[in-house]
Structure 1
Amino acid sequence: MSHAWMPTSPCGPRCLTGGEPTVGAPRAALRLTGAVAVVLVCLLAVPVLPVIGRDRFARLVFRALLGAFGVRLSVTGGDALRAAQGRGALVATNHVSWLDIAAVNAVRPMRALAKRDIRAWPVLGRIVAAAGTVFVDRESLRSLPATMATLAETLREGAHVYACPEGTTWCGQGVGRFRPAMFQAALDGGVPVRPVALRFRMADGRETTAPAFIGEETILESVRRVARLRGLVLEVRVLDEIAPGRAADRRELAELTEAAINSALDRVVVVPAQRKRKVTRRTAQAA
């Protein structure tokens, strides 16, 4: 059952921009075929990942997946993310689309924190589980402490873990409140948080929400819409790390991360009124 603290987003079909350039039906079908081929290759490779090298293979797969959909990746600050070897970090991004995780892993392959439902997905569930994903049951608050303990241990062991603190997707025109629970794992693990800002644009520079996976639509509907876009650019901006000692508690750490990403995206912080002054002040200090 869902609960009052279940992450929700006000985004829906009305948030989708229109007028983006598109490709014809044959090319869109070819893109979908290419994406299916990438997924199948990935599935067949699961048993031999330890032999061929998980990180190198993952980077190639995610770049191939983006390429299959005609998505151009534009990365700023990627070297800082790739250079952090041998120590863990919680990599937190705003959450817009199913393309988000592909973009981050195309820069640097890493484990992820994902909702438990994904584990049951046909084909993809097995691939995600094989990648060392830490699963969270969003419908069970009782299981959250144990999941965060597992995440903290994973971070303490030196892993980079990708997570979406909003807990659900937004259209990209705004960023939702960052839930503080997962930031406790970063504090307990003694690792920094690495904010990463994601933005979708078309080749002509205008921002688009067409790749967003929002509202009541199915994943298949979103995939088809992305396959029809011509000239989609996914911008990945890797921001400065937030050291574990910089925040007094998980709530403050969540606010600092949220403010950093909003500042990078020039977004208005969508938070309850009692928190606006605190976040705005920190944003001004960071500037």
Structure 2
Amino acid sequence: MSHWLPASPCTPPGCAVHAGPARHPLPAAALLLAGCALTLAGVLCAPLGLSLTDGARRERLIRCWAHAVLRAFGVRVRITGPPAARGGTPAVRGGAAGIGGGLPGGPGSAVGIRAGPPGVLVVANHVSWLDIPLVAAVCPGRMLAKSDIRRWPVLGPLAALGGTLFVERERLRSLPATVRSLASALHGGARVVVFPEGSTWCGRGPGGRFRPAAFQAAIDAGAAVQPLRIRYLGGPPDPRAPAGAAAFVGDDPLTASLWRVVRAAGLTAEIRVLTPIPAGAVPGRRELARLAQSTVASDSANLPAASVHH
């Protein structure tokens, strides 16, 4: 299997199981309808929101909508840490952009005369489709997503309207062009959101290895990296235990995942904003990927040993 198609050991029967209290099917169905309706409303209203010239107002609108979508699906939201980075970190130029071997780019490939500071590369561990509105509730940005999502009902058109950068995961040859597109967006001042594990993990344990390609784009653009840590927690008897209901892993159908989420009572989505990594903090993309991964996984040591995949 190509390194561009990483896989996790998580499976729906083994990981996507809710051990806490469950909602009755009728209120669960009402939540499902409410969540889908609010998501559809986002698709219909997206052109109006994107037409706003006030960037701060547009961002507030997106954050409120994303938070409302999560609540509509019955998921509580907990945000911890300082405000997310917005960009403007001074870039450290020099030889860093070319270290790490072989990806096209470097300081001259995605740059020109920049009017303002570079954007920020936002990276997070990947557990669920819920990660997308959860990150948007904290720091909206242009998402990097697999091209399959473009064909999803409701969510696909919304992603396209929101400026999502799509990548064909099955075509390794598309990787250099993807890196150039990311670097161009970052150099233009955009906040770009990437899940560098390349696959979803259930949230038990540290997760997968962060792939370095997106970090090359950050180096090329002189952009800072903003790490986020995502966890989904269950209700009684142990509200601090990882919640399997949120996991969207393996060949799990989206419809099954949606129903599992709305049936899970007491589900809480927790996102922790971690200390940004300044541009030029480490010399190459692999080192930057490892630093970001260790930052995101730093609190996984508090999880019970039985919950970690081996």
**TM-score, normalization by structure 2:** 0.81
Q: Over residues 6-45 of structure 1, what are the superposed CA-to-partner deviations in whole Å (9 max), with x where a residue is unaligned?
A: 1111111212344211110111000011012102211211
Is 1:76 the counterpart of 2:86? The answer is: no
Matches of residues 16-165 of structure 1 in structure 2 within 5 Å? 16-52=16-52, 54-79=58-83, 81=84, 84=87, 87-165=118-196
Q: Which position in structure 2 is the counterpart of 1:214?
A: 249
Equivalent residue for 1:201, pick from 233, 239, 245: 233
Q: Over residues 143-188 of structure 1, what are the superposed CA-to-partner deviations in whole Å (9 max), with x where a residue is unaligned?
A: 1111111110111111111110000100111310111111100000
1:125 deviates by: 1.5
Q: Which position in structure 1 is the counterpart of 2:97?
A: none
The one-letter amino acid paired with 2:212 is P
Separation in structure 2 between the aligned mates of residue 183 and residue 106 of structure 1, nearest angstrom: 23
1:51 deviates by: 3.7
Q: Which position in structure 2 is the counterpart of 1:285?
A: none
Separation in structure 1 between the aligned mates of residue 4 and residue 184 of structure 2, nearest angstrom: 25
Q: Which position in structure 2 is the counterpart of 1:277?
A: none
Matches of residues 122-271 of structure 1 in structure 2 within 5 Å? 122-174=153-205, 175-203=207-235, 204-266=239-301
Separation in structure 1 between the aligned mates of residue 146 and residue 58 of structure 2, nearest angstrom: 22
What is the SS of the residue equivalent to 2:123? strand
Contact 1:18 1:210 in 2 (8 A): yes
CA RMSD of aligned residues (A): 1.9
The percentage of counterpart residues that share the same residue type is 45
The one-letter amino acid paired with 2:30 is L
1:231 deviates by: 1.0
Contact 1:20 1:202 in 2 (8 A): yes
Structure 1 unmatched runs, 5+: 269-287
Runs of 4 or more, structure 1, over 6 Å off, are none
Q: Which position in structure 1 is the counterpart of 2:112?
A: none
Separation in structure 2 between the aligned mates of residue 96 and residue 136 of structure 1, nearest angstrom: 19
The one-letter amino acid paired with 1:134 is L
The one-letter amino acid paired with 1:16 is A
- More displaced stretch, 110-119 vs 199-208: 199-208
Contact 1:20 1:229 in 2 (8 A): yes
What is the SS of the residue equivalent to 1:158? coil
Contact 2:85 2:226 in 1 (8 A): no
Separation in structure 2 between the aligned mates of residue 267 and residue 139 of structure 1, nearest angstrom: 36
Separation in structure 1 between the aligned mates of residue 296 and residue 47 of structure 2, nearest angstrom: 37
Contact 1:78 1:107 in 2 (8 A): no
**TM-score, normalization by structure 1:** 0.87
The one-letter amino acid paired with 1:215 is G
Structure 2 unmatched runs, 5+: 89-116, 304-310
Q: Larger relative contact order (C-alpha < 8 A, sep ≥ 6)?
A: 2
